Amino acid sequence: MPTREELHQLVDSLPEQAIDAANRALSHLQVWPRPPVPPSDVEEWRQRARQRWDERRMEITQKQMPGTIAGFGGSGRYDPERGVGSSSFSRWDGDTFVVETLRRHKGHEFTVIERIRLDADQLTYRHEIQGPGNKSDEREIVFQL
């Protein structure tokens, strides 16, 4: 186990560019042990993410051609101490690869939908963000190949 003296030496040897990040990281440890996060908050997030996942899986299944296999994968994580997390899944929509990510940041939720398509001479990246208050925005970037 490191001693305080070893931690001081580590901090003293940090590059100047890392001081701000180290300060933020160590500030989170000033209250120890960390107060527990109510299990209801974590469970609520997991239920919403699972519901979103199930809805998308049903959409994919309904679009699936008979005799074919649909690709659908995803992942997720949630940090209850910080109140941030994400759950994402990916799928193919025809020739377009789609990644949908449900994010939660300190009580605020938003969804990011990314679409990537390759045509003969261009790569198209499009994303849509849907956030609190039904606010949304879209962007598209086309790369000529």
Same domain? 77 vs 126 = yes
The predicted model scores a pTM of 0.54
Closest C-alpha among 83, 139, 142, 77 to residue 113: 139
Same domain? 18 vs 48 = no
Same domain? 44 vs 29 = no
Same domain? 31 vs 42 = no
Which two tokens mark 89?
A: 């899944």
Same domain? 131 vs 91 = yes
Same domain? 44 vs 114 = yes
Split into its structural domains, the chain has a count of 2
Same domain? 73 vs 127 = yes
- 145 residues of the chain, pLDDT tens digit each: 889 999 899 889 988 888 887 887 787 677 777 666 666 666 776 777 778 777 776 776 666 555 544 555 566 677 777 778 888 878 788 889 888 888 888 878 888 999 999 998 999 999 999 988 889 999 999 999 9
In which domain, by residue range, is 116 found? 38-144
Same domain? 58 vs 70 = yes
Same domain? 122 vs 138 = yes
Same domain? 4 vs 62 = no
Closest C-alpha among 85, 100, 113 to residue 52: 100
Same domain? 30 vs 42 = no
Same domain? 57 vs 128 = yes
Helix (H, G, I), strand (E, B) or coil at 5: helix
